Amino acid sequence: MVRILFLVLVLHVCSHLAVAQNLSEIVVEGNARIEDSTVLLQVSSEVGKGFDARTVERDIKEIYRTGFFEQVTAVLRQTNRGTVLAFKVEEKPAIREIRIAGNDEVSEDTIREKLNLPVRRFLDRLKLASSIEELEKYYQTQGFYGTKITYDVEPVQENQVDVTFEIEEGNEKVIREVVIEGNQQVDEDDLLDVIATARYRWWVSWALGTGIVKEEQLAEDVRRMTQYYLTKGFVDVKVTEPVVSDIEDGLRVTFRVDEGAIYDFGEITASGDLFENSREQTLTGIKSQTGEVFNVERLREDTFTISEKYTDIGYAFANVDPVTSINRTDRTVKVDFAVDKGKLIHIDRIVISGNEKTRDNVIRRTMRINERELFSSSKIKRSQELLQRLGYFDEVTITPEPSVQPEEVDLAVAVREGQTGTFTIGAGV
């Protein structure tokens, strides 16, 4: 919309001004609640300089991004004061009142809290959609599956609106059955142990929140089940979106699996910046072996194992990419660990925070890595372990952060101190 409006502006300028003069004034028109200064803060065009189409296009976009306006246009006018650039805005209406209808099972106060939409704020339809999504999720957590929420906007005086939320509450039902179909080679009980969606059991569901359909959880369960199959060699596995259906006393959730064949690891190689210029040294320590069943989790672990060889000797941003090639004829997966070690990185500063009682020098003395040294992942890990063992801190994190120079990093050492001493008060001697 912004671009189309701007093209109208350009055509207007081209047809009325052969040569744009320097701007004598920049004004805002159409705003009632938003101050001129708020709009002009977004503007890069300047009084005293010539009209620039690209600059005005950016100005329009920046004004629109504030979220206060339905529409933003710009026009040039010749007046007795000179050339005036006017930004014409149409403000979004403000919410005067929010009404709730159709709710029987959830209180209005709770609904308003979940919607989180204050009145007298500008109407934002993206925010409305987000609020409805959050409220529908809340209904799901309460067991009201299938709740549908819509809204209606009614204009009133002075560019205000009343917003009415119509709630069609779903039936309060719990999961009575979780079914997996299509699994021929993996036991159903193993798959049910992997996912979080479970049938309702009154003695645990009230505490754990299980037995209720949750859309986000269903999507996560599809991912979990897929990952489980990938650790068992099922490279082509497909887990479809689960189907929720009504049964006599509740709900049935059905997962459908197309397992496919089991694949083995094929040839395993390494390329790029080989460790010590040796493919064998690069691959030393990995667990994946040619001929064994393919396992995506083991592949991740091996990627980390190889990466650590480089991060431990200064290549903090080494990238190891496990490139896979699937051979469906012999059912193997060839793996090539492509290595880009990047540049050597030194430690610039060690920045300590969170220590109110413990002196900096105690922390620095305990650490196994110092400023100006090469980056070393093992030394950083060891430093974190030793700091934790001091007994002074409940939590220790060491995080690399960008420094001034591209070939340096700072180490941010953040600690959270615990109780370093206790005392007791007793009655009597």
pLDDT one-digit tens code per residue, 163-181:
999 999 987 788 899 999 9
pLDDT of residue 208: 65
Of 305, 304, 303, 306, the residue nearest 279 (C-alpha): 306
Q: Which of 91, 71, 82 is nearest to 17 (CA)?
A: 82
pLDDT value at residue 203: 63
Homologous superfamily of domain range 2-91 = membrane protein fhac (3.10.20.310)
Q: What is the pLDDT of residue 174?
A: 85
Domain 346-417: give its CATH superfamily.
membrane protein fhac (3.10.20.310)
* Model pLDDT, residue 145: 78
pLDDT of residue 140: 79
Fold that domain 176-258 belongs to in CATH: Ubiquitin-like (UB roll) (3.10.20)
Percent of the chain residues past pLDDT 70, beyond the cut: 91
Dump pLDDT digits (tens) for 208-232.
Answer: 667 788 888 899 999 999 999 999 9
Phi and psi angles of residue 279, each rounded to the nearest 5 degrees, phi first: -65, -40
Which of the listed CATH numbers 3.10.20.310, 3.40.630.30, 2.40.50.140, 3.40.30.10 matches domain 94-171? Answer: 3.10.20.310
3-state SS of the chain: helix, strand, coil percent to 5?
A: 30, 35, 35
Q: Is there a contact between 122 and 91 (Cβ–Cβ < 8 Å)?
A: yes
Residue type, 359: R
Q: Name the segment(s) of the chain with CATH classification 3.10.20.310.
A: 2-91, 94-171, 176-258, 264-340, 346-417
Taking each helix axis from N to C end, the angle separating 2-16 and 53-65, rounded to the nearest 10 degrees, works out to 150
Mapping DSSP to helix (H, G, I), strand (E, B) and coil, where does residue 197 land? coil
- Is 264-340 a CATH 3.10.20.310 domain? yes
Q: What is the pLDDT of residue 205?
A: 60
The average pLDDT across 329-350 equals 98
What number is the average pLDDT over the span 323-338? Answer: 98
Q: What count of Cα atoms within 13 Å lies in the side-chain half-sphere of residue 229?
A: 27
Which pair of tokens denotes residue 195? 């996912």
Are 235 and 259 spatial neighbours (Cβ–Cβ below 8 Å)?
Answer: no
Bridge partners for 50 per DSSP: 22
Confidence at residue 204, expressed as pLDDT on a 0 to 100 scale: 63
pLDDT the model gives residue 17: 47
Q: What is the pTM of this model?
A: 0.66
